[in-house]
Amino acid sequence: KAGVTQTPRYLIKTRGQQVTLSCSPISGHRSVSWYQQTPGQGLQFLFEYFSETQRNKGNFPGRFSGRQFSNSRSEMNVSTLELGDSALYLCASSLVGANEQFFGPGTRLTVL
Amino acid sequence: GIQVEQSPPDLILQEGANSTLRCNFSDSVNNLQWFHQNPWGQLINLFYIPSGTKQNGRLSATTVATERYSLLYISSSQTTDSGVYFCAAVDYGQNFVFGPGTRLSVLP
């Protein structure tokens, strides 16, 4: 069974731009969660989607948003990028939210 | 929400040595997982262990939910075990909360 995939793997943007990251979960998994990892803040939960609905949201500004499609694939969007948004963005999938989570390889975003 | 702590923050071992990593959580949890993050950033599942004890080769884990801690044991460590080990707990709001990690360096 294929694992969680994320695209793109690397991305360089400039301040003020917006970015969209994509995540394809393991086949059959309906929950997709997103995390931001930075050296200063560690791994922080962004949001979780289940059956196309956002079920939980972390403590991030409204510039961070996401959505989930009917095939469970998910995208997250960051608008008006700031230097502090430079991070590794990780996506995880599970059968349902509290079950075992499996992570993708991440997208490394650099904001210049 | 719950707080997750890990100790020690850093650990340096000689190849072949054994180690114990600890994860404390502040409240009842629905789930607990251990991960190993490789140098490329990939989080690799080690254990899904809300309670009890599991073993997988040289690694084993124990979670005592009533006392709010989990332990990860690494025996006969190898250089490939180097990296950062995270525990993550799910509270009943179903948010995954990660600890700050233990950075392990295994020297040849």
Give the CA radius of gyration of chain B. Answer: 13
Q: Calculate mean pLDDT across residues A87-96.
A: 93
Q: Calculate mean pLDDT across residues B55-77.
A: 96
Tokens of A23: 């995540």
Which pLDDT tens digit goes with each residue over B13-58? 999 999 999 999 998 888 899 999 988 889 999 999 999 999 999 9
Are the Cβ atoms of A48 and B35 closer than 8 angstroms? no
Instruction: List Cβ neighbours of B43 (8 Å cut-off, separation of 6 or more).
Output: A90, A92, A103, B35, B36, B37, B86
Omega prior to A8 cis, within 30 of 0: yes
Which pLDDT tens digit goes with each residue over A42-89? 999 999 999 999 988 999 999 999 999 999 999 999 999 999 999 999
- Measured between beta carbons, the chain A residues lying within 8 angstroms of B35 are 103
